[in-house]
Structure 1
């Protein structure tokens, strides 16, 4: 599970800085900055953040400054789309409909 390090919201847009993985045993932690809009109704995507950038963001004390820093970082990096990976049960496999009843998949 991802651990939320920072979150900030302004109007209908929210940013979440999550620790997504510890990587290998001798590497740094990995972070992702996600953006949602329409009061978290739309997931706009995410960008990778390294540990030094994360420490710089954590050191910002005021919420308006943190929001501006998140906006600049999100716009300045390669944005990746949010992908729903099948929820709790996982993606549908070729066995679907044989061992278990067929389910409706979205998309």
Structure 2
């Protein structure tokens, strides 16, 4: 599956956010971007980021070793002793800020330290 499947159903603002996320991911070493039917998975040793595209938003799902339970996080759920699942929604480029980039980097580092 290629990324055209995902971009067809997004509005223009969301497509810009999606492209910005993919562009940002070029800063990471040894990752695989896998376009599935329902989501895009970003892997290194295993999945560190899942991107679900909707017409009016993008949902990012990632795991951290801590609970960061503040906006824009709408799900923060401990799934094991050392892992906490987080989910956020982005609908405009301005929402893809430094905090989101830090979370992505921290999720990458957590998976990569295995």
TM-score (norm 2): 0.32
Structure number, greater radius of gyration: 1
**Greater RCO, CA 8 A, separation 6+:** 2
Compute the TM-score of the two structures, normalised by the length of structure 1.
Answer: 0.34
Q: Which has the higher helix share?
A: 2
